[in-house]
Amino acid sequence: MAKNTEPRSRRRWSPQEKAAIVRRHLRDQVPVGTLADEVGAAPSQIHGWIKRVLDGADQALIDKRGVDDRRKDGELSAKEARIRQLEEVAAELSMEVLQLKKRPGAT
């Protein structure tokens, strides 16, 4: 029997395809072996995708609204403080300009 010498092309799955495969396993309880046969992947490869999904679950479940709100509040407070500081500097400079204009010989 002749050995196939053509290079095997690697199958690549998009993130959406991987997610759909993982969902079928987790949601529909389709066995990994069945999925592997259907899509032409190694079961270990699918197990790797499942592990990555489960390992990233804590990041997926972060309440981003609260984090974003706190970050925005901090940024707003910092900007407001900077505005107050600049207003004080502007007031001081205005006073200096007025004093210089009041000096004799000033134009």
> In the predicted model, what is the mean pLDDT of residues 86-106?
90
User: What is the domain class of 13-61 according to CATH?
Assistant: mainly alpha
Q: Examine the pLDDT at 6 and tell me if it is beyond 60.
A: no
**Phi, psi angles (nearest 5°) of residue 53:** -65, -45
- The residue ranges of every structural domain in the chain are 13-61, 64-107
DSSP characters for 64-96?
HHHHHHHHHHHHHHHHHHHHHHHHHHHHHHHHH
Q: Examine the pLDDT at 87 and tell me if it is beyond 90.
A: yes
Residues in the chain: 107
Is this structure's pTM higher than 0.75? no
Question: For residue 7, what pLDDT is reported?
Answer: 54
pLDDT in tens, 7-66: 556 788 999 999 999 999 999 999 999 999 999 999 999 999 999 999 988 888 877 676
